[in-house]
Amino acid sequence: MKMMMVGALALTIAAGSAASAQPYGNGPDHGRGDHGKAASHGNWGKDYGGDHNWKRGERVGYNDWQGAHVVDYRQHKLRRPPRGYEWRESNGQYILAAVATGLIASIILNAGH
């Protein structure tokens, strides 16, 4: 009985060590591929650096989304965004996109830009 408990304990320790050795994405290489490529942000689209004319159905790149200015829809007379969506302004366009993925639901040109 004692041998079986020692064996189970050893197996538990070995399994825990192997699990902690696996990359989980919290270290300095988070999101990098095997060749040191730029970080991948899940289902987000390609980053264009703000000079892109967005289209409905496209996905905004993560860095483009983070760099776009948050827009108060009331102040700019835009419709209220559905839950999980947000208005941003980028390159003279108001973009309504999903906060989690950057999927564009609507675009309005900013005539005053």
Residues 105 and 58 in one domain: yes
Q: What is the tens place of the pLDDT at every residue in 12-71?
A: 554 444 444 444 333 343 343 333 334 456 778 888 876 788 899 999 999 999 999 999
Q: What is the pTM of this model?
A: 0.61
Residues 30 and 67 in one domain: no
Q: What is the tens place of the pLDDT at every residue in 61-96?
A: 999 999 999 999 999 999 999 999 999 998 889 999
Q: Tally the domains of the chain.
A: 2
Residues 45 and 77 in one domain: yes
Helix (H), strand (E) counts: the chain: 2, 4
Residues 7 and 57 in one domain: no
Domain that holds residue 46: 41-113
* CATH number of the domain where residue 66 is located: 3.10.450.160
